[in-house]
Amino acid sequence: MNNDISIAYFSMEIGLESAIPTYSGGLGVLAGDTLRSAADAGIAMAGITLLSRKGYFRQRLDEQGQQTEEPVHWPVDDYLLPAGVQAIVEIEDRRVRVHAWRYDIKGRSGHIVPVYLLDTNIDGNLDYDRTLTDYLYGGDDYYRLCQEVILGIGGIRILRALGHTSIKRYHMNEGHPSLLVFERMAELKQQRGDGRSNTEHIDTVRRECVFTTHTPVSAGHDRFPAALASRVLKQCNPFSDTADEVCPNNELNLTRLALDASYYINGVARKHRDTSRKLFEGYQIDFITNGVHAYTWASDAMRSLFDNKIPDWQEDNLGLRYAISIRYDDIWQAHQQAKHRLIEYVNKNCNVGMDQSVMTLGFARRATPYKRTTLIFTDIDRLRSIASHCGPLQIIFSGKAHPRDNDGKALIREIFRIKNILNTEIRIAYIPDYDMAIARLMIAGVDLWINTPLPPLEASGTSGMKAAINGVPSLSVLDGWWIEGCIEGVTGWAISNSEQATKTTPPVSNHEAEILYSKLENIIIPMYYHNRDAYVEIMRNAIAIYGSFFNTERMISQYVTKAYFR
């Protein structure tokens, strides 16, 4: 076992493999890609997360697109090994036992980044406590806070039980794990005796902590009433001793805690840094733009094309810039293979009769209002007429709505309704139970990736980066990474809207829908059907310009120089 961990990476969710349901979406997939690139780079890092024994949920959709949720059943011991250690955390008056499972991420040269998945379903715990590591983002405030005690405080204790005593940096991916700050303070207090003040301890902790924020709206941050926090954390002295400072406004805000305790804070794209600076005034906030793990997200066909033409692209993603000299035909052929696999999957699983030769648009992400899943259907007659006079279209959707997001669920039903209206004119499929495997099929297999979030709510977005590595261009609202990425007409197309700042939501959406339609009608669809070389040149540019930059190999090296070893 590699005992020499210098960076501990804490995340409520980590996408390890498609079938291990310890992720719900972008945050978790990013965490997985980060650790995969850390393993490739040989960084002495470990990941800490919760087991999520029953997952986020399995999505079922009925004929009307009505979503129901079921627990996921997965054979934990087929994928994970017991780490062989236990720790105890105090919740209210209870002593809750935690043990850990281990998953090894193996880098390209064999270096291992272990991930520890915390589990409370063991003998000696009360029935309720045994459920605490079951559901990702399930349960009420109390359940969530208990989970965060397990993750932050239990996570550190498990690391100590494993013998990891010389960790230099604690990286909090989003605010969920920030209770680890109290545990570090408690450790310091114990090591140093009681002579020093909490302020001195927190100054030490601050030199160790790195915080990446992902959520550009205040409603998205975990906050708990001070009374609830005091009850749950009653045995945690660093909390009670500093309760007045850490609970301004009578609430414990885990994002504030992470901000206050970190010497390096970053947003996940340049624009998101600016948004975060407004949201959290008084903090120094930098940015490191997200990326994706290039090998993981390249389709099988693209992998072999790159292996062939750019032999060292896997060790050095910068090499993807040389895709600029791959022949159009080779790119097109590799794309056709990926498209074939997607169309086959969709026809088999969604019973829809899609056609390989028809231009295929893709949209997959969490179904929630700010993503504006249905923006493309703002004017169905317009879309119908575009498809009939510019060239045929088909559209593939996927994505789950959070169980309590009724507006998100309504969006899925709306797509099913429109799917029936458009019927054979524009074939539409909604692939149920979006996960990493479906994402990998979709981002490589469609011809155009659509993204229509309401700015500035897309902190970064990563699915468009995955598409780009596969030569699939984006037509996207200018938000998140796309502001840094888009070179109009060269790497893809922007749904830009200079007037948006002064107008309210509905007119903005209509205006953006108009841009989306007019670019499809006047530029993109005609190019796809009548100027194939021009289209493939854009595909190729996306690989060369984005694949070589918007990857987690570049991203982790920025974390190393700006945050970890500074």
| Binding residues for ligand PLP (CB under 6 A) | 25-26, 29, 365, 434-436, 439, 461-463, 466
Q: How far is the CB of 456 from ligand PLP (least distance, A)?
A: 14
Nearer to ligand PLP, 167 or 486 (CB): 486
Residue spans of alpha helices (H) in 107-178: 127-130, 141-149, 155-161
Q: How far is the CB of 177 from ligand PLP (least distance, A)?
A: 20
* Spatial distance between the Cα atoms of 243 and 245, rounded to a whole number of angstroms: 5
* Spatial distance between the Cα atoms of 419 and 373, rounded to a whole number of angstroms: 13
Q: How far is the CB of 369 from ligand PLP (least distance, A)?
A: 14
* Spatial distance between the Cα atoms of 495 and 95, rounded to a whole number of angstroms: 54
Q: Does residue 177 have a cis bond before it (omega within 30 degrees)?
A: no
Pull the structure tokens for residue 110: 């064999």
Q: How far is the CB of 263 from ligand PLP (least distance, A)?
A: 27
* Cβ contact 97:120 at 8 Å: yes
Q: How far is the CB of 435 from ligand PLP (least distance, A)?
A: 5
Nearer to ligand PLP, 147 or 463 (CB): 463
Nearer to ligand PLP, 436 or 444 (CB): 436
Q: How far is the CB of 463 from ligand PLP (least distance, A)?
A: 3
* Cβ contact 8:166 at 8 Å: no
Nearer to ligand PLP, 135 or 297 (CB): 297
Query: CA angle, corner 183, sides to 182 and 189, nearest 5?
Result: 90
* Cβ contact 261:205 at 8 Å: yes
Nearer to ligand PLP, 155 or 480 (CB): 480
Quick one: which of 439, 359, 357 has its CA closest to 395?
Answer: 359
Q: How far is the CB of 18 from ligand PLP (least distance, A)?
A: 8
Quick one: which of 421, 427, 440, 424 has its CA closest to 396?
Answer: 427
**Element of type H or E holding 411:** helix 406-422
Quick one: which of 310, 345, 289 has its CA closest to 546?
Answer: 289
Q: How far is the CB of 209 from ligand PLP (least distance, A)?
A: 25
Q: How far is the CB of 217 from ligand PLP (least distance, A)?
A: 15
String of DSSP letters for 429-488:
EEESS--HHHHHHHHHHSSEEEE---TT--S---HHHHHHHTT--EEEES-THHHHH--B
Nearer to ligand PLP, 29 or 181 (CB): 29
Nearer to ligand PLP, 11 or 463 (CB): 463
C-alpha distances (whole Å) from 489 to each of 323, 352, 474, 480, 542 are 18, 32, 10, 19, 11
* Spatial distance between the Cα atoms of 146 and 242, rounded to a whole number of angstroms: 19
Quick one: which of 33, 9, 48, 46 has its CA closest to 436?
Answer: 33
Nearer to ligand PLP, 335 or 365 (CB): 365
Q: How far is the CB of 365 from ligand PLP (least distance, A)?
A: 4
Q: How far is the CB of 437 from ligand PLP (least distance, A)?
A: 8
Q: What is the DSSP letter of 400?
A: P
Nearer to ligand PLP, 434 or 528 (CB): 434
Nearer to ligand PLP, 35 or 246 (CB): 35
Quick one: which of 32, 37, 29 has its CA closest to 47?
Answer: 32
Nearer to ligand PLP, 365 or 409 (CB): 365
For residue 60, count other CB atoms closer than 10 A to its CB.
Answer: 12
What is the Rg, in whole angstroms, of the alpha carbon atoms belonging to the chain? Answer: 24
Placement of tokens 């259907």 in the chain: 377
DSSP, collapsed to helix, strand or coil, labels residue 98 as: strand
Nearer to ligand PLP, 469 or 563 (CB): 469
* Spatial distance between the Cα atoms of 487 and 180, rounded to a whole number of angstroms: 42
Q: How far is the CB of 174 from ligand PLP (least distance, A)?
A: 14
* Spatial distance between the Cα atoms of 274 and 267, rounded to a whole number of angstroms: 8
Strands 251-253 and 474-477: unpaired
Nearer to ligand PLP, 134 or 458 (CB): 458
Q: How far is the CB of 434 from ligand PLP (least distance, A)?
A: 6
Nearer to ligand PLP, 165 or 349 (CB): 349
Q: How far is the CB of 188 from ligand PLP (least distance, A)?
A: 37
